[in-house]
């Protein structure tokens, strides 16, 4: 099975997958929605269990962003079903998103989720996909390190705000050390725009450290 590293902006490859919620066609079944595909090394393992609980506890936040969650590993669907049941019975957390059973390695092969230096299980990959099916953010974590799910929520929010308002998002947004929850206006590409920025700054409509580093208040949805 091909094992390649996808690139940012690339279209999510078409595939039919078996999940705990039945068969799905990706990305077709997610058309018009943001969605997050995340892989884990194996069912019935402690770090993966903490991540599944963390994703589920934030599902309402993802729902508010109109963003779906899809889990995945190379385990069989029977294992996924039993593990999800165990989480509900023992940890009192009902996993409400589908989990792909990539038993034959089709998904992991197309998305570069198996790294030979880290074994034969899927690494902790995260793919944030936009409503047009483009992969906008790709993250890879090793088996031994659990992910920060709040960062995944933040990343979806940041992408949506950037797309809607044509702005760039600073580090740690909305708690940036320099500009707090402000957003960055893309740098001027010509002298005319640079002079216009300076005029807006004089009027107090935007703030600038210099002509190439201007920012403004975020626009509430």
Report domain 166-221's class.
alpha beta
Residue 163 in 3-state DSSP? helix
Per annotation, catalytic residue among 48, 67, 208, 214: 48
- Per the annotation, the verdict on 214 as an active-site residue is no
**β-pair type (124-129, 183-185):** unpaired
Q: Which fold has domain 15-146?
A: Glutaredoxin (3.40.30)
Q: What is the pLDDT along the chain (221 residues), one digit of tens a residue?
A: 456 788 999 999 999 999 999 999 999 999 999 999 999 999 999 999 999 999 999 999 999 999 999 999 999 999 999 999 999 999 999 999 999 998 888 888 889 887 877 767 788 999 999 999 999 999 999 889 999 999 999 999 999 999 999 999 999 999 999 999 999 998 888 888 888 888 888 888 889 998 889 999 887 65
Q: How many whole angstroms separate alpha carbon 131 and alpha carbon 73? A: 23
> What is the torsional sign of CA 25, 56, 64, 178?
negative
Domain chopping of the chain, boundaries: 15-146, 166-221
Token pair of 187, please?
């740098």
């Amino acid at each position: 099975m091909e094992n390649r590293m996808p690139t940012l902006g690339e279209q999510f490859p078409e595939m039919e997958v078996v999940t705990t919620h039945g068969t799905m066609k990706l990305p077709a079944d997610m058309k018009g929605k943001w969605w997050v595909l995340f892989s884990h090394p194996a069912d019935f393992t402690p770090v993966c269990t903490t991540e599944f609980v963390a994703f589920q506890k934030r599902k309402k936040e993802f729902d508010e962003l109109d963003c779906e969650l899809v889990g995945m590993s190379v385990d069989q669907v029977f294992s996924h079903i039993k593990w999800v049941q165990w989480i509900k019975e023992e940890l009192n957390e009902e996993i409400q998103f589908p989990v792909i059973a990539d038993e034959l390695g089709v998904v992991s092969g197309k998305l570069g989720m198996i790294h030979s230096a880290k074994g034969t299980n899927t690494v902790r990959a995260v793919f944030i996909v936009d409503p047009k099916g483009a992969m906008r953010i790709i993250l890879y974590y090793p088996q031994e390190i659990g992910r920060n799910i709040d960062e995944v929520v933040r990343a979806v929010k940041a992408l949506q705000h950037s797309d809607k308002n044509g702005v760039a998002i600073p580090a740690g947004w909305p708690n940036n050390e320099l500009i707090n929850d402000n957003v960055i206006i893309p740098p001027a590409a010509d002298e005319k725009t640079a002079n216009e920025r300076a005029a807006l700054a004089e009027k107090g409509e935007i703030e600038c450290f210099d002509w190439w580093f201007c920012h403004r208040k975020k626009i509430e949805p």
